[in-house]
Amino acid sequence: MTKKMLTTLLFALALVAAGCTSGGGETDAGAGGEANLGAAASDPAEVAAGGQTEATEDTGGGPSGSIIDRVRERGSVVCGVNNEVPGFGSVGEDGELVGFDIDFCRAIAAAALGDPEAIELRTLTSDQRFPALESGEIDVLIRNTTWTASRDGTENATFLHTNFYDGQGMMVPADSEFESIDDMEGTTICVTSGTTTEQNLATRFQDIDYDPLVFEDNETLQQAFVQGRCDGWTSDLSQLAGIRSAWPEDQGGPEALRILTGEDGAPEAFSKEPLGPAVAEGDPTWAQIVDWAVYATIQAEEYGITSDNLQEMLDSDDANIRLFLGQESEDGTVLDPGLGMDPDFAVNVIEAVGNYGEIFDRHLGPGTPIELERGLNALWTDGGLQYAPPYR
């Protein structure tokens, strides 16, 4: 053996010895075997719900395993919601939470469990919502939450189909001197913390002198607004419309407030606010269940299927409708697209909450105190943005 060969062999043996004794066998992990969450996993399939890597032993932290497994074991879907936004999530006359977001929670439970009443509603502030999602305290977040690039990249959340397209606006007392946002030089604006609303406000007012007055929730913000501590209240236009619709009669009722409009007379929106469900990152099966529960309401409206005509639609002559509703085709087969739900999950959804249009009209439409038009939330066939992927 030459001297050069001997040197090479000794070097290799040293490397092997170092590898066998380094860190007690842990790779990129601290005590207890927890992986470094700052590093990307080598295989997405190794990442479980709540952002924790799978292990053979309990490492603490967030939940492990698929969310749908624990949902079915528990027998209910836990939804993170708001209880302060009329139309989306607020306390009804019977003391129960009702609204657009609440109905979509029921739709998810109907799709996943076959029971729209198998839900648990957790009311969360803006600051609480993403930690609750990541920790596994909730299974899905349906709480007027805007999908942004930064949230998509840093909150360990997967944002799903946008079920409400919105924009930020400004509300002032009806007797206010302000006719447009550009008039609001030197004013104080009330805004909630932990939201995109703060950022949008700063952008819209970058050339306008103003003072932001920040609150954690709408209840305390409303108290400040009533006390005259701020000149305007900024939030999503749908949220402002809901708050205005429920304004106390002893404070003048809805007519005491005014949402500022643009030159065309429509409410002035100065941001894009795509709102929809979000789930913990790393669980594609649960994500597609939630997504298709929402899509089912949209596709049902496109096909003209309602909660009233559902039973007759089960025998429709349209093969596409029968396919969508999980009924037998002409050759006696039933489509199971592998979404993790029963083939007739859409029947359960429609029976529970109706189609998208029914949900919208029930909580937000012209026949409600909120009086919103469909606008961007109309079906794509009617010039809107609501669109479901083909079901085949």
Domain locations in the chain as residue ranges: 67-164+275-382, 168-271
Q: Transcribe 270-314 into DSSP letters.
A: -S-EEE--EEETT-HHHHHHHHHHHHHHHHHHHHT--TTTHHHHT
Tally the C-alpha atoms within 13 A of residue 224's C-alpha that lie toward its C-beta: 20
User: Residue 380 gets which letter from DSSP?
Assistant: G
Neighbouring-strand partners of residue 379: 386
Per-10-residue mean pLDDT of the chain, 392 residues long, equals 39 37 34 30 30 30 73 98 94 94 98 98 94 97 94 96 97 96 96 88 96 92 95 95 93 95 89 97 97 98 98 96 94 93 97 98 96 95 97 94
What is the CATH superfamily name and number for domain 67-164+275-382?
Periplasmic binding protein-like II (3.40.190.10)
Predicted confidence at residue 196, as pLDDT, reads: 87
Predicted confidence at residue 194, as pLDDT, reads: 77
**Is the alpha carbon torsion for 371, 373, 374, 376 positive or negative?**
negative
Predicted confidence at residue 275, as pLDDT, reads: 97
- Number of continuous H segments (helices) and E segments (strands) in the chain: 13, 15
Q: Would you say the CATH fold of 168-271 matches that of 67-164+275-382?
A: yes
Instruction: Report the candidate in 319, 275, 227 with the shortest Cα–Cα distance to residue 87.
Output: 275
Q: How many whole angstroms separate alpha carbon 41 and alpha carbon 48? A: 11
Predicted confidence at residue 283, as pLDDT, reads: 96
Pick the CATH number of 168-271 from 3.10.450.50, 3.40.190.10, 3.60.21.10, 3.40.50.970: 3.40.190.10
Question: Do the beta carbons of residue 116 and residue 107 sit within 8 Å?
Answer: yes
